Amino acid sequence: MKRVYNFSAGPAVLPEEVLKEVAEEMFDYQGSGMSVMEMSHRTKLYESIIQTAEKDLRELIGIPDNYKVLFLQGGASQQFAMIPMNLMKNKKVAYIITGQWAKKAYEEGKIYGEAMAVASSADKVYSYIPDCSDLDIKDDVDYVYICENNTIYGTKFWELPNTKGKTLVSDVSSCFLSEPVDITKYGVMYGGVQKNIGPAGVVIAIIREDLITEDTLPFTPTMLKYKIHADNDSMYNTPPAYGIYICGKVFKWIKKMGGLTAMKELNEKKATILYDYLDQSSLFKGTVVKKDRSLMNVPFITGSDELDAKFVKQAKATGFENLKGHRSVGGMRASIYNAMPIEGVEKLVEFMKKFEAENA
Ligand code: PMP
């Protein structure tokens, strides 16, 4: 059995330990004689899976009782609509545009109300995070929206914006559980799990309770109301049951690894190996302003499309998969999420050094 080093931006690498464990449980989960995939979600056994997953997530992040944890579907993109439908009261939202995912959320927001772009880094191909210390945030905006880690461009908010007291809503899809966070600074923190936590198909939304109300936009479908999911403990309808089971396994794995502080240390170590090499290389260059660099997604270029393509091809042949940059920006991108082992990054850098020497 051959495993590659998978640098995909998502769906992405998962811990091998978890994959082995779920493989062992595939045919007969805890003596039930069936796989979790085949199991009714209305059973004690499944209830214990989803409840344990929520409990472990609460412990990992330190989520207080006045926040709900919802396991939802529809991808992170569905939240671009679900958030305005549930949170728009004055129908005004301030968006900070730091990449394609923030822009998509902003465009979706325009369908439901007045979406205001209060800052943007589009002028320099989203290669930095704009100064958000004193934005023009109107008194009557419902919330301020950010995409905290920009998967495509490799930037990260290392300081949260000054929202002038307004609710902060953050898409953390590509930095979920990669470091400790203070959830009380957020009204909504949400993300698709297919990068750091589990298989595509599950979205986790952590929402302050007072934001979950009956007072949604009038046409909001039942399935897109946070309250329905909150009142039914994410079991209003059939949840993405197998995906949640895998998420639960990954929460246990992170706990065993030492929690979010240990994750951050490991992620810093991995990213430093790659960034230090990029900073002194005469062939490869990072594309992001240093202070705004993501620990999760590391884009880089050679400056030549031809050499970029050659690199991606040779890397693939050597066992480094999915290093091609997003189709909208080109170049390369190494996504080094929680489950990417440090050896994967060390070996990638070794390979880059060799490629550099051969193509000097
Ligand atoms: N937000 C971010 C930060 C993303 O990276 C992505 C895509 N992976 C999305 C949102 C959209 O996610 P989905 O494909 O689950 O809708």
CATH code assigned at 352: 3.90.1150.10
CA of 251 to the centre of ligand 1 (A): 20
Contacts of 83 (CB under 8 A, 6+ apart): 105, 143, 145, 169, 188, 190
Domain around 319: 259-358
CA distance 206 to 243: 17
Which ligand 1 atom is nearest residue 78's CA? 16
Residues 248 and 285 in one domain: no
Model pLDDT for residues 272-289, shown as the tens digit of each residue:
999 999 999 999 999 999
Q: Is 240 in the pocket of ligand 1 (CB under 6 A)?
A: no
252 is a domain residue: yes
93 is a domain residue: yes
Model pLDDT for residues 85-110, shown as the tens digit of each residue:
999 999 999 999 999 999 999 999 99
Task: Give ipTM to 2 decimals.
Answer: 0.99
Q: Is 75 in the pocket of ligand 1 (CB under 6 A)?
A: yes
Residues 240 and 268 in one domain: no
Residues 98 and 46 in one domain: yes
Residues 344 and 268 in one domain: yes
- Tell me, what's the pLDDT at 253? 98
Q: How many domains does the structure of the chain reveal?
A: 2
Question: Where residue 75 sits, what CATH number does that domain have?
Answer: 3.40.640.10
1 is a domain residue: no
- Tell me, what's the pLDDT at 2? 87
- Tell me, what's the pLDDT at 329? 86
Q: Is 73 in the pocket of ligand 1 (CB under 6 A)?
A: no
Model pLDDT for residues 7-62, shown as the tens digit of each residue:
999 999 999 999 999 999 999 999 999 999 999 999 999 999 999 999 999 999 99
Q: If you write DSSP's letter for every residue of 117-154 in order, what string do you get? A: EEEE-GGGTT-SPPP-SS----TT-SEEEEESEETTTT
Residues 46 and 62 in one domain: yes
Residues 237 and 299 in one domain: no
Model pLDDT for residues 159-199, shown as the tens digit of each residue:
999 999 999 999 999 999 999 999 999 999 999 999 999 99
Residues 231 and 270 in one domain: no
73 is a domain residue: yes
Task: Write out the two tokens for 94.
Answer: 């301030």
Residues 249 and 276 in one domain: no
Confidence band, pLDDT 50/70/90 cuts, at residue 145: very high
Q: Is 121 in the pocket of ligand 1 (CB under 6 A)?
A: no
Residues 249 and 287 in one domain: no
Residue nearest atom 14 in ligand 1 by C-alpha distance: 75
**Across the chain, which distance is largest between two alpha carbons, in Å?**
63
284 is a domain residue: yes
For strand 155-156 and strand 114-120, is the pairing parallel, antiparallel, or unpaired? unpaired
Q: If you write DSSP's letter for every residue of 240-257 in order, what string do you get? A: -HHHHHHHHHHHHHHHHH
6 is a domain residue: no
3 is a domain residue: no
274 is a domain residue: yes
Contacts of 229 (CB under 8 A, 6+ apart): 70, 72, 236
Residues 100 and 148 in one domain: yes
CA of 200 to the centre of ligand 1 (A): 10
Confidence band, pLDDT 50/70/90 cuts, at residue 327: confident
Query: Measuring CA to CA, how many Å separate 249 from each of 7, 199, 215, 253, 335?
Result: 21, 12, 35, 6, 21
* Average pLDDT, rounded, for the chain: 97
Confidence band, pLDDT 50/70/90 cuts, at residue 126: very high
- Tell me, what's the pLDDT at 180? 98
Last residue of a domain, one of 223, 256, 289: 256
CA of 121 to the centre of ligand 1 (A): 19
Q: Which residues are catalytic?
A: 101, 171, 195
Last residue of a domain, one of 232, 256, 280: 256
Last residue of a domain, one of 256, 285, 317: 256
Q: Is 192 in the pocket of ligand 1 (CB under 6 A)?
A: yes
The DSSP bridge partners found for residue 248 are none
Mutate to test the pocket of ligand 1, among 73, 79, 101 (most ligand atoms within 8 A of CB): 101
Q: Is 201 in the pocket of ligand 1 (CB under 6 A)?
A: no
Mean pLDDT of 308-314: 98
Residues 87 and 108 in one domain: yes
- Tell me, what's the pLDDT at 29? 98
Residues 184 and 131 in one domain: yes
Mean pLDDT of 206-227: 98
